[in-house]
Amino acid sequence: MDGHRELRQDAADHASLSVAYEPPLKAAITRLKNEEYHSQRGSVLFVAIASPILTGSAPDQKSLSWPAAQSILARIYSIVAVICAQLDVPSEMHAGPESIDVRVIFIHYDPSKPITQDTRPTIDVNNTIIIDLPTFASAYHPWHQIFHVNSEPGHQLFSSYMKVYEKIQTLRRDQLVMVESGLSLSDNSPPPTQTNLYSVVCLGGTFDHLHAGHKLLLTAAALLLKVPDRPKAVPARFVIGITGDELLKRKKYAEFVQPWDLRVTNVLEFLASLLELSTSGWTEPDVTKGDEKVIARFRDGTIEIHCVLLQDAFGPTTAEEEMDVLVVSGETRSGGDAVNAKRREKGWHELEIFEVDVLDAERSTDSSASAPTKTDFATKISSTAIRERKAEARK
């Protein structure tokens, strides 16, 4: 898909994520910003974090540590948001020719098991949404450019990837761009506790001008889905309450709030980056639209995304009993407690609450004077701030 790029780097331990990822990310984003050609919708940069993130030998028994995974996501998206703020680059989805829409995905990759020249393009899935390197090479294409990191692990990963990818797309030399490496450190800590996966996961939000905080929340929630291993099984359901237009009329700069249909479209496009797999590359999801619900199906119908119109604070959590999990952010923790109180009143089981880290500027960059303060950082990436910038631009 023209305009899509990717950057790959081995994942380091939590304490060293900033020094590992900030240099290559800044190099890639700076290069994209300085390019002469920009599409009208902006660039899309995929950041694929390749590491042995999954455990379990059988394909239908794979698992991951959700607290560790979502924490890494939060750090990476924080680094991205700070870099974009420093470079004055809009990073929300479809923000115009100068924007860079960064999307972070996990790739299960064990460098001790190298890919050979005989490895063929294939789609190999497990019971999580995380895919392996051959599947990534087979399903994510074509690219306009590929960024790869100038380090020994980076070169090994790039070589493994290209052994599969070169069977799919012929690339010119100028499409392969080497970027600066950060500090590579090994994680020698004991394996973290693995997390149960669930058939029905729910969250809610406005998702206005889809930005880094939204991407973090959606990705972290999708990681909790237990995906069936066969197409005709009952699909995993990801239920997303999206605030209706009527409830947003009193928001600041309400005239710049995106309509519900567009916010749904953007949510589904972003989730397709994580969920849609096809050897033919980027494909459109199977979507059914109703008056107050849109259903999209991915991976041969094993995953369904239900985008539901939110007309109150509870939405589907108190309308549908068959749910397992509610994903919240630090700012919406009290909402999870209120949901479970309502469900107890109905005699229903409580939802297990999973809390996603908030984006944090102070722990995501170096201590240079150019790094924004936490307050400045929050005001730059919020939907309200994005609408304010649009209002100022109109003036």
Q: Quick one: pLDDT band at residue 25, thresholds 50, 70, 90?
A: very high
Q: What are the phi and psi torsion angles at 297 (to 5°)?
A: -115, 135
Q: Is the pLDDT of residue 110 over 70?
A: yes
Q: Is the pLDDT of residue 2 over 50?
A: no
pLDDT digits (tens, 9 = 90+) for 197-206: 999 999 999 9
Please answer whether residues 168 and 120 qualify as being in contact, where contact means their C-beta atoms are separated by less than 8 angstroms: no
Q: Is the pLDDT of residue 386 over 80?
A: no
Q: Using the structure block, give the residue that is written with the tokens 């005699």.
A: 347
351 DSSP assignment = P
Angle at Cα 130 formed by Cα 209 and Cα 164, nearest 5°?
105
Q: pTM of the prediction?
A: 0.91
User: Which of 4-8, 118-122, 126-130, 214-218 comes out lowest in average pLDDT?
Assistant: 4-8
Q: Which pLDDT does position 11 carry in this prediction? A: 40
Name, of 51-65, 70-84, 348-362, the range with top average pLDDT.
70-84
345 DSSP assignment = H
CB atoms under 10 Å from CB of 99, counted, come to: 22
pLDDT digits (tens, 9 = 90+) for 334-384: 889 999 999 999 999 999 999 999 888 665 555 444 555 544 555 556 777
**Whole-number Cα distances in Å, 205 to 147, 187, 202, 248, 263:** 33, 35, 11, 11, 10
Q: What are the phi and psi torsion angles at 329 (to 5°)?
A: -105, 175
Rounded Cα distance between 183 and 45, Å, is: 21
pLDDT digits (tens, 9 = 90+) for 149-198: 999 999 999 999 999 999 999 999 999 999 998 877 565 566 678 999 99
120 DSSP assignment = P
Q: Which pLDDT does position 185 carry in this prediction? A: 58
**Cα–Cα nearest to 365, from 87, 102, 150, 78:** 78
